[in-house]
Amino acid sequence: MSDLYRSAISARIAKLPQLPTTLEDEHDGEREDEIGQLPSGMGPPPLRLPNPAYAPISAKSFFTQSLSLSVPSRHLDFRAYYTPPTVPVDGTDAGTVIVFHHGAGYGALSFACVAKEIHDLEHELGVFAFDARRHGKTALMHNSDGFSDEDLSIDVLVADFFDLLQTAFPNPTTAPTFLLIGHSMGGSVVVRTCPLLQEKKYAIAGVVVLDVVEGSAIDALPHMHALLNTRPEGFDSVEEAIEWHVSTRLIHNPSSARISIPSVIVPSDSPLLNPSASKQQPRSKYPYTWRTPLRSTAPYWSSWFTSLSRLFLAARTARLLVLAGAERLDTPLMVGQMQGKFQVEVVRDVGHVLHEDDPPALAQIFVNFWRRNERLRVGVKGVNVKRVGDV
């Protein structure tokens, strides 16, 4: 890597943010506030008045269901959000569900705006997003004494994702087709999980990786601690956290930030921060702090991205890489692109969380990709066609 390119990478990094068997609706009285209007009065009184322009927005109109999915094999209760696809009443087609996996430090609701845009464009497409371990509202099960959710190594994340989908959609023959989309760290998870699902006979329409290239990601890792040093330790209110993300341009779209950021922070006395009574962590001096302690995930950073390009190119399904700006491809991807092994889309005027910054553009890219490959999957009589990535 040249000094000029290393400097460019450093400059870019400095700008980045550092279904049980039956899926049940969560619009009941007990849980209404969890997907309804998010409260801003939790925790100690804020030190300054919250800015109402950055008040949280309910996720209720962006997904039709909010779910708590218990996965005993992982000792976790996963929080998930789901909008089912519109399918024929005769049950001849289970439809396609886009399954999202967020990046490190984000959450399921980072896909809220793009999920709604997708379903508005194509009702045949369902959308499913969830909070990974140690993110959002996913937590250890009550009977999981002695277990921890602190391990965010790639193999653990893949096992979580694989078991969660088998819990939500237990029968491969009646399950919808999956279109797997992962952002940053989540891209590595979906690429690795794809062949495992195919071995279990789940239908996969494609894999999509958002704004991560193995070479650039590995080169950026030495800068990550400096990046995390630029983040505030905490916030006086939820509104202040939203405002900080928007004012620093970590998220360009205020509406999306007002939906996604409330699950990225928690009250400083939240049990989600310290599920193990034997591990007392120092409490933040701020009323709100980060849900995910990213600095503690440093031992896993390399595992997230190593071999990503090779595994992406080896996926036996259609492949799409979506980048923010003119990101540089590493050598394996450059060769693969010249050989036509995958599709690349570049989105302008967005940052690292491109799906939050421009939900309509990303939704159109995803729907177009699905339509193109769904048509080829069904095929045309008398014509021998293959999807990108098929052998």
Known catalytic membership, residue 73:
no
- Please say if 355 is a catalytic residue: no
Which entry of 131, 149, 160, 211 is annotated as an active-site residue?
211
Q: What are phi and psi of 112, to 5 degrees?
A: -60, -50
**What is the pLDDT at residue 21?**
38
Q: For position 325, what pLDDT does the model report?
A: 81
What's the CATH number where 293 sits?
A: 3.40.50.1820
Is 119 inside a domain boundary? yes
Q: Residues 74, 138: contact at Cβ < 8 Å?
A: no
The whole-number pLDDT of residue 202 equals 97
Write the DSSP symbol of residue 18: -
**22: alpha, beta or left? (left if phi > 0; alpha if psi -120 to 50):** beta
List the catalytic residue out of 101, 119, 160, 184. 184
In a domain, 192, yes or no: no
* HSE toward the beta carbon, residue 39, CA cutoff 13 A: 11
- Residue 328 to residue 322: CA distance in whole angstroms: 12
Does the residue 313 lie in any domain?
no
272-311 in b/e form (b: 16+ CB < 10 A) is bbebeeeeeeeebebbbbbbbebeebeebbebbbeebbeb
Residues of the chain with pLDDT under 70: 1-47, 89-92, 275-284, 326-327, 375-391
Asked, for residue 147, whether it belongs to a domain, the answer is yes
In a domain, 337, yes or no: no
What's the longest Cα–Cα distance across the chain? 70
Return the pLDDT at 18. 40
The domain containing residue 65 runs over which residues?
3-179+209-303+351-363
Q: Is the residue at 386 inside a domain?
A: no
The predicted pLDDT at position 91 comes to 66
Q: Please check whether residue 24 lies inside any domain of the structure.
A: yes
Q: Is residue 129 part of a domain?
A: yes
How many structural domains comprise the chain?
1
Number of Cβ atoms within 10 Å of the Cβ of 11: 10
pLDDT at residue number 381: 34
How many CA atoms lie within 13 Å of 153's alpha carbon, on the beta-carbon side?
5
| Catalytic residue list contains 352 | yes
Q: Return the pLDDT at 375.
A: 56
Instruction: Give 161: exposed, middle or buried? Use CB within 10 Å, 0-12, 13-18, 19+.
Output: buried
Given the residues 102, 223, 352, 355, select the one marked as catalytic. Answer: 352
Q: Which three-class secondary structure state does DSSP give residue 67?
A: strand
